[in-house]
Structure 1
């Protein structure tokens, strides 16, 4: 059983395990309790940088991502030399492991028994490369080498192809120009700056040329650009060039007219634009002096955002799709930039970061683009995140401070302030079901409380009032005149040998999660109908199903927010009274997100 909690700056949060506080079973035996807490999760943005260094293909976008990671690391090291001690500590203490490998003792299945072992090994290798990334001499060398390769990819026009030898790709050019703009915004200056400034200017020149061609072509059949459709691509182009507004002074007359019409049109059309485009509009308009309109857009976005204690601030429509402007991570990162720059609304910025950090807690960021944008957004506060002093008051087990002997035995992780303490069976008592964290620091922290215990399976109480929940129902398949019918089974309804039983599992999650494992135990009087392990698809979920002696396992690479119902069949094969066990659901990437159904008994007659 587990409870997770995010504790905002200046707030107090309490996590409660009712089943422990109210436990009165004579057969229950404690195994252990675990409490873990991270006081400055912003450091995990840095832990994402190695992913940007590992690219399989020699394309322009991923070559830029590698340069971005090296330049970011070099900037952090040179501007804050004390940071080096943090990374040395990570390397020495073996903390650079995959999230899939952490807290192995709190999970219901060994990583080696899941389809995700190679994912964990790959992620661990990336984390081990943090040592290389924060070696100042090696980083400087790789930075130079990668920048030279990137500049070689930039054509004579200033545009970038996707791959070397290809035609100039307008979108890739926009993306890299915006990335170079991000580096300007973060104040990354080094001996490469003249070169990157030149590359940025050349990329903007290439974009200007391309857009002038488009406008000239349009004007062949129209008198003005007043009715031109200024869509997502145009606003992304304007966003990319807005990192240096002074370049508009030398802009072409057609381009200047297009900007005038687009800015005027935005006042009436912004409300119908996609979320990502609205954010691009707000930032671009703000940087070009249209602060009133930019603020109006931001106010509308704030009004339509969802705000919750669990997930911070986000938008329901922020979903992934096949369009380049429909990426939830990149959109959330852009929202952080917009609320920080346009409205200086730091409360909203913190709430937006909570969503981003919670997403990272339960998901891998799937692309170099998403990782680069998210890292940029989390580091926008400058060096402040490095200087946050840990200042928490934690009470556990009846308003008592954390056990001194336990705290002395653990070493807090440098930077993040992460620690984990364990109470073994003789040390566990009911009052440990409550933990309170008073966060007096300037950033949000998060933690989790775990309770492991032994109990008769049919006495286990349901634990599903959580971000992740599962319920299990059994139905007997009955043939009637109108066809097949399902009749729900309770512990009072006897079955017959040979009866076909449908197991129905109802899963609810209030957040997107990766690497979700479901273990469905079954009565020893049941035999599975489908015994072959294979990949399946049901109710919008793709999963790998593996049948073992005592349980059927389901492995979901990804589970998006929502409710899912899926079924599989077993057959009554042995007479007697049996415990049907429980169904346990957990995110292997963050085991504090878990749930289980209640236990029940089944009776099978000959």
Structure 2
């Protein structure tokens, strides 16, 4: 048996009347974690009784992860960040991990297996099954890589993700049958896909959703296919003669009809329409890429630019760039930039689409709009910091950490990232990376195209080796003395993206909040009942005054006092920089408080979370967390007198170990 480490004996003499009762209070302090055993005995000359209860005693501490993100721009040589390792901690559970990568866009290869294995074969998905793989494989071939070799050894190029690369890849099934590394399989995929698209082409030259009797050509589907065939041809894919040309002719006829409608608007002669729309912008871009520019549609689109969705503005901008319409392009870029949100903390940027955005339509897709904007910036100025920030935002918002919402937006993202890779020079890394801690060189790594998918991209310090106090982490980069790339000058500069994660089991007296991509702020409110009546309809339609439950909320500060019996509401304010799935929010309960609700399950909260009420905490399981601010709440009742600490709320992602956050702790007192 385990011997108790601390024994305290307390006694009190009192008189109890026959049939009566008396209350005895002893105030105790918790001095160690473990199990507290309380034995109570009542002794008299004639009768005696005793009772024993066991209580878990938790340590005042938690596993806390602090996260940092940074980038060294191509024209800079180093980046620094300062960390502080607490003295009050369990040193054996301390860990510092630094991840770095010369390209985030290179992580796009992870989405390819999803596109290949999608089980349905409509027109768009037939195209998306092979086109992104062709684009990606050509980039890898142009880098001079041995595809078979890098298939065997893979580095996670997304510097934001931690954990064992191989194990994480298995968990997400990232590398299972990734066709990009198999040239023979890609050739088979392309041949099969083009044959299928040829069969699906309608007799008038366009494409519909599927194929067969009764199918009609649709402008959006036809534009998607022609655009895809244009990209395939740019990537050395042999197109069936006449197939693309017939599609272009169909789009030209469609565009001529839309121009006629716009010209008929002043006289209202049928058919007519008032404004050029998103579909007009898409078709115009595709036809400009086919060297068929309609001057009338150009002017209509520019005239109606304020009516175009943000997505369509980016499409129109791509066409204007190809046409070298500099003044009009500058105006479109200015129109788009009013929707741009930049976050310096995690170096991301995204287009915040307006509230009246038609999210259910193809041109209402947040991901696709940002991808086409990335493509536009890649052509206008790929070195612009906004472009790399868009890449990071798009990577952060992948579903299941490998692909996006659908085959279409995944394909468009890969297309945009591939263009950014080539335009920015990130497909030709040529740098020496040094990691220094407090000025002392700890790691040196060479990154070239040959090593891009296999270099050691992390530096780790664990346990006692990570000493308490302040430390400066510095990453330095410089071009290799001799370029490993044929015909490339060694002085060509590359960016370096990095993340750092510091984990400690902290025993600090007041634990402060932490978080990067997700933040949690917890507030306690005292609820005071107020009398409130509302008028409702009675059984005969008469007005009836009825009492309703209503409370005034008073926010509680750290070290505030409550009375036993007071009702308290706990609110968790959640701020997310991205869209996430499968998150867990655990709120430790301070001793002396008990939840008002006791039944776990779905309770109709704002976020649709599954709630579990446990002895020592309340847990919220959130299926989907959208970008922005949200809140969760539940109620407690103050019961046992004393001074208590509520340890911080913890946020974590069930399938992404780097996504962690916590709130501040709070200390409260309960009095009789």
Write out aligned runs for 1:97-176 (5 A): 103=163, 124-130=172-178, 132-165=179-212, 166-176=215-225
Question: Who is 1:234 aligned against?
Answer: 280
Q: Deviations over 1:353-387 (max 9, x none)?
A: 32222331353221222211111111114394332
Write out aligned runs for 1:163-312 (5 A): 163-165=210-212, 166-184=215-233, 187-190=234-237, 193-195=238-240, 198-213=242-257, 228-245=274-291, 247=292, 259-288=294-323, 290-302=325-337, 305-309=340-344, 310-312=346-348
- Distance in 1, Cα, partners of 2:427 & 2:157: 19
Question: Who is 1:57 aligned against?
Answer: 120
- Distance in 1, Cα, partners of 2:573 & 2:608: 15
Q: Does residue 1:583 correspond to 2:633, yes or no?
A: no
Write out aligned runs for 1:388-403 (5 A): 388-396=429-437, 398-402=438-442
Indicate the SS of the match to 1:174.
helix
The one of 374, 381, 397 aligned to 1:336: 374
Question: Who is 1:359 aligned against?
Answer: 394
- Distance in 1, Cα, partners of 2:642 & 2:336: 61
Question: Who is 2:585 aligned against?
Answer: 518
Q: Deviations over 1:522-569 (max 9, x none)?
A: 124333344444446655x44333344432223334433433333112
The one of 503, 506, 519 aligned to 1:469: 519
Cα 1:170–1:547 change in 2 (3 A) is farther
The structural deviation recorded for 1:506 is 1.6
Write out aligned runs for 1:57-76 (5 A): 57-76=120-139
Cα 1:370–1:418 change in 2 (3 A) is farther
Indicate the SS of the match to 1:476.
strand
The one of 555, 569, 576 aligned to 1:509: 576
Indicate the SS of the match to 1:571.
strand
Question: Who is 1:251 aligned against?
Answer: none
Cα 1:72–1:284 change in 2 (3 A) is closer
More divergent stretch after superposition (218-227 vs 416-425): 218-227
The structural deviation recorded for 1:235 is 1.1
Q: Deviations over 1:258-293 (max 9, x none)?
A: x33332234443245332222222222343454432
Cα 1:104–1:505 change in 2 (3 A) is farther
The structural deviation recorded for 1:324 is 1.4
The one of 72, 75, 88 aligned to 1:10: 75
Write out aligned runs for 1:365-444 (5 A): 365-380=404-419, 381-382=421-422, 384-396=425-437, 398-402=438-442, 414-415=452-453, 417=455, 419-430=457-468, 433-440=471-478, 442-444=493-495
- 8 Å contact kept, 1:4–1:446: no
- Distance in 2, Cα, partners of 1:283 & 1:143: 27
Indicate the SS of the match to 1:485.
strand
Indicate the SS of the match to 2:242.
helix
- Distance in 1, Cα, partners of 2:140 & 2:92: 50
The structural deviation recorded for 1:128 is 1.9
**Which structure carries more strand by proportion?**
2
- Distance in 1, Cα, partners of 2:566 & 2:337: 56
Indicate the SS of the match to 2:434.
strand
- Distance in 2, Cα, partners of 1:232 & 1:289: 21
Cα 1:377–1:595 change in 2 (3 A) is same
More divergent stretch after superposition (208-217 vs 290-299): 208-217
Cα 1:189–1:602 change in 2 (3 A) is same
The structural deviation recorded for 1:68 is 1.0
- Distance in 2, Cα, partners of 1:104 & 1:506: 32
Q: Does residue 1:486 correspond to 2:586, yes or no?
A: no
Q: Does residue 1:460 correspond to 2:460, yes or no?
A: no
- Distance in 1, Cα, partners of 2:666 & 2:283: 60
- 8 Å contact kept, 1:313–1:354: yes
Give unpaired runs (5+ residues) of structure 1.
106-110, 112-119, 249-258
- Distance in 2, Cα, partners of 1:86 & 1:548: 50
Question: Who is 1:253 aligned against?
Answer: none
Write out aligned runs for 1:318-329 (5 A): 321-329=359-367
- 8 Å contact kept, 1:239–1:284: yes
Question: Who is 1:31 aligned against?
Answer: 94
The structural deviation recorded for 1:234 is 0.8
Indicate the SS of the match to 1:17.
strand
Question: Who is 2:499 aligned against?
Answer: 448
- Distance in 2, Cα, partners of 1:366 & 1:429: 44
The structural deviation recorded for 1:590 is 5.3
- Distance in 1, Cα, partners of 2:217 & 2:177: 33
Q: Deviations over 1:472-518 (max 9, x none)?
A: 12223332345422333455445455543211112223444444432
The one of 371, 377, 381 aligned to 1:345: 381
- 8 Å contact kept, 1:90–1:96: no
Write out aligned runs for 1:515-594 (5 A): 515-535=582-602, 538-539=605-606, 541-572=607-638, 574=640, 576-587=642-653, 591-594=657-660
- Distance in 2, Cα, partners of 1:88 & 1:2: 33
Cα 1:174–1:545 change in 2 (3 A) is farther
Question: Who is 1:116 aligned against?
Answer: none
Which of the pair has the greater relative contact order for Cα pairs under 8 Å at 6+ separation? 1
- Distance in 1, Cα, partners of 2:636 & 2:187: 61
- Distance in 1, Cα, partners of 2:460 & 2:594: 38
- Distance in 1, Cα, partners of 2:622 & 2:569: 21
**Which structure carries more helix by proportion?**
1
- 8 Å contact kept, 2:570–2:635: yes
Question: Who is 1:108 aligned against?
Answer: none
The one of 348, 352, 377 aligned to 1:316: 352
Give unpaired runs (5+ residues) of structure 2.
1-64, 480-492, 533-549
- Distance in 2, Cα, partners of 1:225 & 1:147: 36
Greater Cα radius of gyration, structure 1 or 2: 2
